């Protein structure tokens, strides 16, 4: 039987087992919305702004390791989605974003709501397609899901002109797809794995430095096994938190600009660095000239272009992280050789000394609410088991430092692009994927206002998200940099004319709370967490002058941290 393009679109999503579609209708996708209306397998979530649709899909994807799916209209629908697409590209989030396009006959005519979506998104997608014939639609959608979810994942955009969604053809969904120009590597080279294991076992002062690739590759278990087998210290990047249990004694904290003293000092003094699914981002390395001066480096990554991009490595292994780690474990277990215990013991002594600096300390006796205290309490009350999304800035760093993630896929933030406004829609996507779990959005009074309209979406779909707003009346991270590097000239970082967030939350049909004293923090969090069926917006009035420590200033080395 012949189906219309719109019907084919819906059938393809069903074939891909898509249960949730984030979107916003408009002229050029009306046929598709009509086809969605006539089925009940794919649930469509109506956001209030297309950027939020993409962030919500990211939250869905990051918390499940399944692709997030988005549908937007042409023109402004597509351009509004670009920030989210760029965000997903930087953090390697598997997404398939469908955009409507004006009819093929009008393309290039500056038609109403026309924009060159393929051109605009080209630099921030893994790949994109313009469908020019309804006969290509099913195959293109199959390719889009395949490219988005394999190799190094990323967003794929499929631009569909309106006439294609009305045209008809026979529907057949391809079972599998082969692309001669796209063959991501899975298995690591056995010779390289042997060389890596040799180097790893010869280490006297090793550090395992693992990133978001471990989580994307579902390799948390293998990473934990390898780390314990070796008894080596491990640090996680911002994107990699939760891949190794942070409560474990071998975990030395996050590294990088706001990483722990022990993690950064260990990196600086390491003789062998084992980088796994991490990309040597500038927020991790600090000044590249001063980065890990004595280390020989093993780097495991599925993306060959990530290897030796910023830092030259000694033993590169291209392959899927989980597959490579399993091969490494097998190789170690098959041999007799184990790490030399004596230097390792001394190394641990040194690390414990650095640890004893207690670099994350803060004033616990303050009469003002310390943001760190809110997050520690949140951790305790949720047993570190909540899904936590965040926006971008100080609150994001404090969450990374103080929440203490023990499981992968629980920490959902915008790492690479650093997109304010990410947190709330990401929490929506996360909660939709995990209806019965606790989902918390940690945010600030500045970030939350960038996508606050999504409080409406949360109400419509009964999503009992807990919003923890750390309200210091400043764009905190901007203020911190202005304090440190601009002699306290706080240009435009003060958040004047703030709304009353309690009333605002209530206006949206939610529960609002304002918490102004440290003694009320725990009670308020408990009360909010107990409201299993309501979104609660907690407006914590925090210490305005609090800064994120430790900090490696831009251009400095890992051993040149500013401590409190």
Non-local (6+) Cβ contacts of 267 within 8 A are 207, 209, 235, 255, 273, 291, 292, 295, 558
Distance of closest approach, residue 150 Cβ to other proteins, in angstroms: 11
- Only one of the segments 11-19, 258-266, 307-315, 360-368 lies at the binding site for other proteins (rule: CB under 8 A); that segment is 307-315
Catalytic residue among 62, 142, 162, 466: 162
127 vs 410, which CB is nearer to other proteins? 127
User: Applying CB under 8 A, does 383 fall inside the site for other proteins?
Assistant: no
Contact pick of 30, 106, 107, 118 for other proteins (by CB under 8 A): 118
Residues in region 155-214 near other proteins by CB under 8 A: 179-182
User: Applying CB under 8 A, does 304 fall inside the site for other proteins?
Assistant: yes
User: Applying CB under 8 A, does 300 fall inside the site for other proteins?
Assistant: no
127 vs 370, which CB is nearer to other proteins? 127
Residues in region 76-105 near other proteins by CB under 8 A: none
Dig out the tokens for 339 from the structure: 């790490």
Contact pick of 312, 361, 462, 526 for other proteins (by CB under 8 A): 312
95 vs 440, which CB is nearer to other proteins? 95
Distance of closest approach, residue 130 Cβ to other proteins, in angstroms: 7
**In this structure, what DSSP letter does residue 370 have?**
P
Cβ density class 189-200: b for 16+ within 10 Å, e for less: beebbebbbebb
Strand order in the sheet with 466-471: 411-412, 387-390, 439-444, 466-471, 536-541, 511-515
186 vs 529, which CB is nearer to other proteins? 186
Catalytic residue among 2, 41, 43, 112: 112
Catalytic residue among 7, 16, 50, 114: 50
**Interface characters, 414-453, with other proteins (x: CB under 8 A):** ----------------------------------------
Distance of closest approach, residue 148 Cβ to other proteins, in angstroms: 11
d(CA 521, CA 468): 11
What torsion, rounded to 10 degrees, do the Cα atoms 326, 329, 330, 332 define?
160
- Only one of the segments 301-309, 345-353, 420-428, 430-438 lies at the binding site for other proteins (rule: CB under 8 A); that segment is 301-309
d(CA 35, CA 38): 5
Dig out the tokens for 495 from the structure: 């958040």
15 vs 303, which CB is nearer to other proteins? 303
Distance of closest approach, residue 283 Cβ to other proteins, in angstroms: 19
Question: Contact at 8 Å (CB) between 48 and 457?
Answer: yes
119 vs 523, which CB is nearer to other proteins? 119
Rg of the Cα atoms in the chain: 24
- Only one of the segments 50-58, 72-80, 123-131, 501-509 lies at the binding site for other proteins (rule: CB under 8 A); that segment is 123-131
Contact pick of 108, 112, 119, 363 for other proteins (by CB under 8 A): 119
Catalytic residue among 90, 477, 551, 561: 477
Contact pick of 303, 437, 520, 522 for other proteins (by CB under 8 A): 303
User: Applying CB under 8 A, does 308 fall inside the site for other proteins?
Assistant: yes
Q: Which of 315, 239, 247 lies closest to 283, judged by CA?
A: 239
Is 113 annotated as catalytic?
yes
Question: Contact at 8 Å (CB) between 319 and 300?
Answer: yes
Distance of closest approach, residue 116 Cβ to other proteins, in angstroms: 10
Beta strand pairing call for 68-72 and 20-23: parallel
User: Applying CB under 8 A, does 130 fall inside the site for other proteins?
Assistant: yes
Non-local (6+) Cβ contacts of 198 within 8 A are none
Is 477 annotated as catalytic?
yes
Is 112 annotated as catalytic?
yes
Residue with tokens 């969605």: 36
Q: Which of 172, 100, 56, 130 lies closest to 461, judged by CA?
A: 56
- Only one of the segments 47-55, 300-308, 358-366, 467-475 lies at the binding site for other proteins (rule: CB under 8 A); that segment is 300-308
What is the total residue count of the chain? 564
Distance of closest approach, residue 125 Cβ to other proteins, in angstroms: 10
Residue with tokens 């959005």: 441
Distance of closest approach, residue 89 Cβ to other proteins, in angstroms: 12
Distance of closest approach, residue 22 Cβ to other proteins, in angstroms: 24
147 vs 521, which CB is nearer to other proteins? 147
Alpha carbons within 13 angstroms on the beta-carbon side of residue 236 total 31
Contact pick of 11, 49, 55, 127 for other proteins (by CB under 8 A): 127
Distance of closest approach, residue 134 Cβ to other proteins, in angstroms: 18
Distance of closest approach, residue 184 Cβ to other proteins, in angstroms: 10
Distance of closest approach, residue 181 Cβ to other proteins, in angstroms: 4
Residues 335-342: contacts with CB under 8 Å, at least 24 apart: 335/197, 337/201, 338/201, 339/201, 339/203, 339/206, 339/230, 339/231, 339/232, 340/204
User: Applying CB under 8 A, does 122 fall inside the site for other proteins?
Assistant: yes
Contact pick of 46, 288, 305, 554 for other proteins (by CB under 8 A): 305
**Under DSSP, is residue 115 helix (H, G, I), strand (E, B) or coil?**
coil
Question: Contact at 8 Å (CB) between 203 and 230?
Answer: no
176 vs 181, which CB is nearer to other proteins? 181
Report the 10 Å Cβ neighbour count for 250: 17
> What does the DSSP assignment read for 457-490?
HHHHTT---EEEEEE-SB-HHHHHHHHHHSTT--
The site that binds other proteins (CB under 8 A) totals a number of residues, namely 20
**CA 233 to centroid of chain Cα atoms:** 24
User: Applying CB under 8 A, does 108 fall inside the site for other proteins?
Assistant: no
Q: Which of 18, 192, 151, 189 lies closest to 96, judged by CA?
A: 18
Q: Please report, as ranges, the residues that interact with other proteins according to CB under 8 A.
A: 118-119, 122-123, 126-128, 130, 147, 179-182, 303-305, 307-309, 312
User: Catalytic positions, please?
Assistant: 50, 112-113, 162, 477
């Amino acid at each position: 039987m012949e189906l219309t393009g719109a019907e084919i679109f819906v059938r393809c999503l069903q074939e891909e087992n898509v249960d949730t579609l984030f979107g916003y209708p408009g002229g050029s996708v009306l046929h598709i919305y009509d086809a969605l209306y006539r089925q009940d397998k794919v649930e469509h979530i109506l956001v209030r702004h297309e950027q939020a649709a993409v962030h919500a899909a990211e939250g869905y994807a990051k918390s499940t390791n399944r692709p997030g799916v988005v549908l937007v209209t042409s023109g402004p629908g597509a351009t509004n989605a670009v920030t989210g697409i760029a965000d997903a590209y930087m953090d390697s989030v598997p997404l398939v974003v469908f955009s409507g396009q004006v009819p093929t006959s009008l393309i290039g005519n500056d038609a109403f709501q026309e924009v060159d979506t393929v051109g605009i998104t080209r630099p921030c997608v893994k790949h994109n397609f313009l469908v020019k014939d309804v006969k290509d639609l099913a195959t293109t959608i199959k390719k889009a899901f395949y490219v988005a979810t394999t190799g190094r994942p990323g967003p794929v955009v499929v631009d569909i002109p309106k006439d294609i969604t009305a045209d008809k053809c026979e529907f057949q969904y391809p079972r599998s797809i082969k692309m001669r120009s796209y063959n991501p590597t899975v298995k690591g080279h056995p010779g390289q794995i042997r060389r890596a294991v040799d180097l790893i076992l010869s280490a006297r002062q090793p550090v395992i430095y693992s990133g978001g690739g471990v989580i994307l590759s579902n390799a948390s278990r293998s990473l934990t096994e390898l780390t314990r087998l070796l008894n080596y210290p491990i640090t996680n990047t911002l994107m990699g938190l939760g891949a190794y249990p942070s409560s474990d004694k071998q975990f030395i904290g996050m590294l990088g600009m706001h990483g722990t003293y022990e993690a950064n000092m260990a990196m600086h003094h390491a003789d062998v660095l084992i980088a796994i699914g991490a990309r040597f981002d500038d927020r991790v390395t600090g000044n590249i000239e001063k980065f890990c001066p004595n280390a020989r480096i093993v780097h495991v990554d599925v993306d060959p272009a990530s290897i030796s991009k910023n830092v030259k490595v000694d033993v590169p292994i291209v392959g899927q992280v989980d597959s490579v780690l399993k091969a490494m474990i097998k190789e170690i277990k098959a041999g007799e050789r184990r790490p030399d215990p004596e230097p390792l013991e001394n190394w641990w002594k040194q690390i414990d000394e650095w640890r004893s600096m207690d670099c994350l300390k803060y004033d616990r006796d303050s009469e003002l609410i310390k943001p760190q205290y809110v997050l520690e309490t949140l951790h305790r009350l949720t047993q570190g088991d909540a899904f936590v999304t965040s926006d971008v800035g100080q609150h994001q760093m404090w969450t990374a430092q103080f929440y203490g993630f023990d499981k992968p896929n629980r920490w959902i933030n915008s790492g690479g692009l650093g997109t304010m406004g990410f947190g709330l829609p990401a929490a929506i996507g996360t909660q939709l994927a995990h209806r019965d779990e606790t989902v918390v959005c940690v945010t600030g009074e500045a970030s939350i206002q960038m996508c606050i309209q999504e409080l409406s979406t949360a109400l419509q779909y009964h999503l009992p998200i807990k919003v923890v707003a750390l309200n210091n009346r400043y764009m905190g991270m901007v203020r911190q940099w202005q304090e440190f590097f601009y002699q306290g000239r706080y240009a435009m970082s003060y958040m004047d004319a703030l709304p009353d967030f309690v009333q605002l939350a209530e206006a949206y049909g939610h529960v609002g709370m304002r918490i102004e004293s440290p003694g009320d923090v725990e009670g308020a969090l408990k009360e909010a967490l107990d409201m299993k069926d309501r979104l609660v917006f907690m407006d914590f009035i925090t210490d305005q002058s609090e800064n994120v420590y430790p900090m490696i200033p831009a251009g400095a080395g890992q051993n040149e941290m500013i401590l409190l």
